Structure 1
């Protein structure tokens, strides 16, 4: 009898294992529904909470989000010190919901002691809870050295700082350049949000400034920095400014194993592509599921209507969930089209919305 039992299992095992494999594949292919939005833990890895107003965190809690607030050397925001004060407050009072990235000033760059002072600032912020450091597009597009030359992200003056970040396992969030639309006339831009932004900020509309570096030159500088710092975790903000082409984003990720990208403020450009080739965009997200982080660029500044912001944040988060997680179609005004959702598998959504950010920002050996 024992022999017969063993023989039966030997014959049945391939069938059972095949069935289990099929079930596993089916489970991996399952998708979330719109109704699952609030039940799934999520991280928005690119927001700006620049005021001590609880409305942002209240909405994040309602929609089951943690947030990563990114301090940035941006003249339209409060000062770097004021941003840091807000970040310190929420890092202390809401450590399970709020996380932040620090930044540094370019004042004194190229002068003796700048790198050491900057490293000291970074170390102090990390002790206060910072999980990353942000550099903005002012590097490459605004800041100039003593001779009046633009300072680029691959300048050797940054080497001590970036080497230090790599040594202490703190990621660099890099916003270099602008959307490709920035180098086009307003009427040729592919999305309404870019048309509105660059109409309002002509100082950053590079089509109007042929004396400034080209898009290709800025991307080459960023790529050179990533290549020169292979041990540094580089987070390409805003789809690494490659939002116009998932093919180009794929080339960037293939060339730089130390890089990931996040989606902040570039969903419309992605949707513009998926309306034209849905399968290619969906395949990109699945292929690079370990290298993509969810982010929005939602911003709450002092004096703004906090309750209106809450509704806006909920609408953005809900719309993005519909697009990424479900197969539902929705009208996207920024591209004047209906965009069908990508219906990414649950396992992919879980990575993009949470697991990847946790690995990149919260896995330092000393955390």
Structure 2
């Protein structure tokens, strides 16, 4: 990929009175941070990653990588029952570093309708053990079936008690609904995500005789969000429409309770007009959280997307630096963090320091009420 000289990104010398911090002291280093390569560090040198995956047996490895890359807190988003229960015990000494979200295993529903009747209590039990909320993965709406073998829609009325209980518990519902546009297009040599689909063939949803349309499933998700205006919805992966800022913009206007995270989508975001991207992040600077989708699996790690392996410190540094470069500089034609997601370069959007601060720290700190966890 081509490399161009980076433009130096100058940071203001200090904060104005109107920029006083409400969520703890933003390190003074941020306002004095003048370097020839600002992409080597996150402004402020502290970040909350709203979207990682950690298991009980990988906590030490996750903390080590986080420490090496300025990640102060990470939300392990989406652990099913046994994995969640193990994590809920193991992470207690690290509650100021890690959080967790519960995730349903829907397969018992195929055997008995009693599963869905007990689902709200299952969520409440997870919250009592420390879950910040529940992650609804992409299988709901695409592959999950009930006891009659019928596909279950996200806005199915039988799921209403789950959303109602989440609202009562004041917890977060994180939606990973559908997948990138390319995963719903024919899987052939013309599909620009061919390499990723080759690694994960079960991620192809192009067979219209087997799967519903991408648009219809997203509409189901949005119906739930609109029906519960007082419930907090974290729509991961930029609400899974990172290919089109205009569509996400419309959703954000229609659904003020929608919060975004940026996990594993900088490749799509960064290939669009950087002026449009910058305007979007500035407009919704209070409703976007930083995320990477960095996975710490028992059998290997994943940097947002790609094959599992154990990464060196240098490889991890490059992964995180690609994120800082996108948000903090106006670099052109540079690598994105997840090359398996597309063989193209991206452009940085060079956000102002105070916008970066919100995305890296303030928004997630408030959204997850991290003060209560000693963060």
Q: Name the CA distance, whole Å, in 1 between partners of 2:371 and 2:224.
A: 22
**Whose helix fraction is larger, Structure 1's or Structure 2's?**
1
RMSD, aligned α-carbons: 2.9
Matched positions, count: 332
Paired residue secondary structure (1:272)? coil
Q: Work out whether residues 43 and 356 of structure 2, in 8 Å CA contact, stay in contact via their aligned partners in 1.
A: no
Candidates 35, 50, 67, aligned match of 1:61 = 67
Choose 261-270 or 99-108, whichever is displaced more: 99-108
Trace 1:1-367 onto structure 2 (pairs within 5 A).
33-37=38-42, 39-53=44-58, 54-65=60-71, 66-72=73-79, 80-90=81-91, 92-109=92-109, 113-115=114-116, 117-186=118-187, 187-190=189-192, 194-273=193-272, 277-304=273-300, 308=311, 310-329=313-332, 330-332=334-336, 333=339, 335-362=342-369
| Distance verdict in 2 for CA 1:308–1:364, change over 3 Å | closer
The one-character-per-residue Cα deviations of 1:91-141 (angstroms, maximum 9, x if unpaired) are x02111111111222244495653553222222222222112111111111
Q: Name the CA distance, whole Å, in 1 between partners of 2:256 and 2:43.
A: 33
The one-character-per-residue Cα deviations of 1:260-308 (angstroms, maximum 9, x if unpaired) are 11111111011121xxx12111101111111111111111111327852
- The structure with the larger Rg is 1
Q: Name the CA distance, whole Å, in 1 between partners of 2:316 and 2:206.
A: 31
Choose 37-46 or 94-103, whichever is displaced more: 37-46
Q: Work out whether residues 225 and 255 of structure 2, in 8 Å CA contact, stay in contact via their aligned partners in 1.
A: yes
Q: Name the CA distance, whole Å, in 1 between partners of 2:330 and 2:176.
A: 31
| Distance verdict in 2 for CA 1:337–1:141, change over 3 Å | closer
TM-score if structure 2 supplies the norm length? 0.80
Paired residue secondary structure (1:234)? strand
Gapped runs of 5+ residues in structure 2?
1-14, 22-30, 302-308
Gapped runs of 5+ residues in structure 1?
1-21, 74-79
Q: Work out whether residues 99 and 131 of structure 2, in 8 Å CA contact, stay in contact via their aligned partners in 1.
A: yes
Choose 118-127 or 231-240, whichever is displaced more: 118-127
